[in-house]
C-alpha cells in the first residue's frame, strides 16, 4: 500500500523559512517524478515545484523561483521543499504528489505566513 505523508508546515513570519518533508513508502521511490503543489481556499491546486526521477532536473512556478528549493533523497524515500523569504501569499495547504500516471497524494500540510 502506497503512503505519502507531508510534514513541516506551520506558522512563520514574512521573510522567514520553513522546510517541508514528504515521505513516500510502498513504491520504488526512484522510479517516480515528484512534485509539491499548493492550494488556497477558493482556488485550484497549483504546481509549486517538481523534480524529475530521470535526471533530477527541477522546475519551479515563477513566483517561487529563487526562493524555494526542491530536492529528493531516493535512498531515504524522501522529498523536501526548502522555502525561504516567505511571503503572506505563500499561505496555503502544501501537498506532495508522487508520480504522474498513476499518482499518489498526501493529505497536505498547512503553511501560514503572517505577522
Q: What is the pLDDT of residues 32-86, one digit of tens each?
A: 999 999 999 899 999 999 999 989 999 999 999 999 999 999 999 999 999 999 9
More confident residue, 12 or 1: 12
Task: Please tell me the predicted confidence (pLDDT) of residue 101.
Answer: 86
pLDDT at 90 over 90: yes
Residue 28 has pLDDT above 90, yes or no: no
Determine the pLDDT at residue 94.
98
95 within 8 A of 37, measured Cβ to Cβ: yes
Cβ pair 93, 70 in contact under 8 A? no
Amino acid at each position: 500500500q502506497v503512503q505519502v505523508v507531508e510534514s513541516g508546515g506551520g506558522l512563520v513570519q514574512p521573510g522567514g523559512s520553513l522546510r517541508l518533508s514528504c515521505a513516500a513508502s510502498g513504491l520504488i521511490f526512484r522510479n517516480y517524478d515528484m512534485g509539491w503543489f499548493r492550494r488556497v481556499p477558493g482556488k485550484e491546486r497549483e504546481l509549486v515545484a517538481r523534480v524529475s526521477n530521470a535526471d533530477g532536473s527541477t522546475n519551479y512556478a515563477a513566483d517561487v523561483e529563487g526562493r524555494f528549493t526542491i530536492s529528493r533523497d531516493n535512498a531515504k524515500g524522501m522529498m523536501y521543499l526548502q522555502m525561504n523569504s516567505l511571503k503572506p501569499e505563500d499561505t496555503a495547504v502544501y501537498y506532495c504528489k508522487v508520480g504522474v500516471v498513476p499518482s499518489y497524494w498526501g493529505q497536505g500540510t498547512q503553511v501560514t505566513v503572517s505577522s
